[in-house]
Amino acid sequence: VIDGHVYAGKDRYGSEILALYLSAILHKPLTPLVTERNISLGREIVPVATKRLLSTIFSYKSLLCVYGKCFYCKREDPVCEDGNNLLSGAILVNVNVTFVNNRSPWQRTYKKGKLALWETLDDYCQLVKPKISTHRLLDLVDVSIFDFLLQNGDRHHYETLDGNVVLLDNGKGLGNPYTHHLDILAPLYQCCILRNATWSRLQQLGGGMLKRHLESVPNISNFVTKEHINAIEHRLNIIYAAVEFCRKNRGMP
User: Residue 209: what pLDDT?
Assistant: 99
Q: Count how many domains the chain has.
A: 2
User: Residue 71: what pLDDT?
Assistant: 84
Q: What is the extent of the structural domain holding 62?
A: 41-85
Q: Does residue 105 sit in the same domain as residue 183?
A: yes
Q: Does residue 245 sit in the same domain as residue 156?
A: yes
User: Residue 95: what pLDDT?
Assistant: 86
Catalytic residues: 154
Q: Residue 184: inside a domain, yes or no?
A: yes
Quick check: 231 pLDDT over 90?
yes
What are 19-76's pLDDT values in tens digits?
A: 999 999 999 999 999 999 999 999 999 999 999 999 999 999 999 999 999 888 999 9
User: Residue 3: what pLDDT?
Assistant: 87
What are 64-110's pLDDT values in tens digits?
A: 999 999 888 999 999 999 999 999 999 999 889 999 999 999 999 99
Helices 134-150, 196-204: axis angle to 10 degrees equals: 20
What are 136-167's pLDDT values in tens digits?
A: 999 999 999 999 999 999 999 999 999 999 99
Q: Residue positions in the annotated binding site for Mn(2+)?
A: 11, 169
Which band of pLDDT confidence, cut at 50, 70 and 90, is reported for residue 253?
confident
Mean pLDDT of the chain: 96
pLDDT-above-70 percentage for the chain: 100
* Cα–Cα distance measured from residue 193 to residue 242, given in angstroms and rounded to the nearest whole number: 11
User: Residue 90: what pLDDT?
Assistant: 95
Q: Does residue 199 sit in the same domain as residue 237?
A: yes
* Cα–Cα distance measured from residue 102 to residue 166, given in angstroms and rounded to the nearest whole number: 11
Region 2-19: mean pLDDT is 93
Q: Does residue 184 sit in the same domain as residue 71?
A: no
Region 181-200: mean pLDDT is 98
The domain boundary, picked from 50, 85, 120, lies at 85
Q: Does residue 58 sit in the same domain as residue 107?
A: no
Q: Residue positions in the annotated binding site?
A: 11, 159, 169
Q: Does residue 104 sit in the same domain as residue 72?
A: no
Q: Does residue 76 sit in the same domain as residue 112?
A: no
